[in-house]
Amino acid sequence: MKDLTHGSIVRHILAMTPPIMAGMISIMVCQLVDLYFVSGLGDAAVAGVAAAGNAGFLVNALMQVLGVGTVALIAHAVGRKDQPDANLIFNQAVALSMLFGLLTLVAGAALARLYMRSVAADLATIEAGTTYLLWFMPALALEFVMQVIASALRATGIVRPAMLVRVLAVVINIALAPVLISGWGTGYALGVAGAGLASSIAVAAGGLMLLAYFRKVERYVAFKPAQWRPQPRHLKRILNVGFPAGGEFAMMFIFMAVVYYVLRDFGAAAQAGFGIGQRVLGLIQMPALAVALAAGPIAGQNVGAGNGARVRETFVKSALITTIVALGFMALAQLKPELLLAGFSNDRETMEIAFLFLRVISLNMVAQGLIFTCSSMFQGLGNTKPVLLSSATRVLTYSLPAIWLSTRPGFRIEHVWYLSIAATTLQAGLSLWLLRREFRKRFAPLPQDEAAEPVKAEPVAPAARAPA
Q: Measured between alpha carbons, how far is 391 from 431 in angstroms, rounded to an integer?
A: 9
| pLDDT > 90 in the chain, percent | 18
pLDDT band at 69 (very low <50, low <70, confident <90, very high): confident
Q: Measured between alpha carbons, how far is 49 from 275 in angstroms, rounded to an integer?
A: 9
Q: Which range has the worst mean pLDDT, 44-48, 99-103, 317-321?
A: 44-48
Q: How buried is residue 122: exposed, middle or buried, by Cβ count under 10 Å (0-12/13-18/19+)?
A: middle
The helix-helix angle for 43-54 and 9-38 (nearest 10°) equals: 140
Return the H-helix or E-strand segment holding 465.
none
Q: C-alpha distances in angstroms, 443 versus 306, 426, 438, 462?
A: 9, 26, 8, 21
Q: Measured between alpha carbons, how far is 16 from 158 in angstroms, rounded to an integer?
A: 8
8 A C-beta contact, residue 382 and residue 240 = no
Q: C-alpha distances in angstroms, 229 versus 68, 90, 371?
A: 21, 12, 36
Task: Give the other-Cβ count within 10 Å of 20's Cβ.
Answer: 26
pLDDT > 70? residue 448:
no
Q: Measured between alpha carbons, how far is 56 from 274 in angstroms, rounded to an integer?
A: 16
Q: Measured between alpha carbons, how far is 195 from 458 in angstroms, rounded to an integer?
A: 70
| pLDDT per residue as tens digits for the range 366-414 | 999 999 899 889 988 888 889 888 888 888 888 888 888 888 888 888 8
Q: Measured between alpha carbons, how far is 130 from 372 in angstroms, rounded to an integer?
A: 31
Task: Give the other-Cβ count within 10 Å of 111's Cβ.
Answer: 13
Average pLDDT estimate for 441-468: 47
Q: Measured between alpha carbons, how far is 437 from 364 in angstroms, rounded to an integer?
A: 24
Q: Measured between alpha carbons, how far is 153 from 2 in angstroms, rounded to an integer?
A: 10
Q: Which range has the worst mean pLDDT, 161-165, 187-191, 323-327, 435-439?
A: 161-165
pLDDT > 50? residue 206:
yes
Taken in order 377, 357, 114, 146, the sign of the CA dihedral is negative
Q: Measured between alpha carbons, how far is 2 from 209 in angstroms, rounded to an integer?
A: 22
The torsion region of residue 459 among left (phi > 0), alpha (psi -120 to 50) and beta comes to: beta
Type of residue found at 107: A
8 A C-beta contact, residue 451 and residue 457 = yes
Output 280 or 320, whichever has higher pLDDT.
320
The helix-helix angle for 43-54 and 232-263 (nearest 10°) equals: 150
Nearest to 253 by CA among 43, 441, 63: 63
8 A C-beta contact, residue 66 and residue 379 = no
Mean pLDDT of all residues belonging to the chain = 82
Q: pTM score, two decimals?
A: 0.68
| pLDDT per residue as tens digits for the range 75-110 | 888 888 898 999 999 999 999 999 999 998 998 888
Q: Measured between alpha carbons, how far is 353 from 198 in angstroms, rounded to an integer?
A: 28
Type of residue found at 341: L
Q: Measured between alpha carbons, how far is 286 from 364 in angstroms, rounded to an integer?
A: 14
Q: How high is the pLDDT of residue 27?
A: 63
